Amino acid sequence: MKKSKRKLPLVSIVIPAYNGAAYIKQSIQSVLDQNYTNIELLVIDDGSTDETVEILKTYGDLCKTSPFEVCAYLADFCVGLNF
C-alpha cells in the first residue's frame, strides 16, 4: 500500500521588532530550529534605531540553505525584503 504524500499546511510566524537587536537572533533561531518545514517567517521592523535592521540583513543568504521562507518588512523603508 502506497502512502500518500500530502503537502504540509503553511505555518506563518510573525515576529514584530522595534529595537530588538538584543533578542532578534535568538527569536529567529528558535523558528529555524523547528522540525516542521513548511514555515514562512515574517519579521516586521517598526523603524528600529538600534542594530535590528543590520542583523536582519545578515539573513540574506538564508534562502539558499533553509527550507523556510524568511521575509523582513522594514517600516522605515516601506519595503519588503524577501530573504
Q: What is the pLDDT of residues 41-60, one digit of tens each?
A: 888 888 889 998 888 888 77
Over range 15-37, report the average pLDDT.
91
- Could you tell me which residues come within 8 angstroms of residue 80 by beta carbon, excluding any fewer than 6 positions away? 71, 72, 73
Give the cell for residue 36. Answer: 516542521
How far is 20 from 25, CA to CA, in rounded Å? 9
> Cell triple for residue 8?
504540509
Higher-confidence position of 58 and 6: 58
Q: What is the pLDDT of residue 82?
A: 46
Closest CA to 13 of 39, 32, 33: 39
The confidence score (pLDDT) of residue 21 equals 96
pTM for the model: 0.70
- The structural domains of the chain, ordered by start, are 11-82 (3.90.550.10)
pLDDT of 23 above 90: yes
* Average pLDDT along the chain: 75
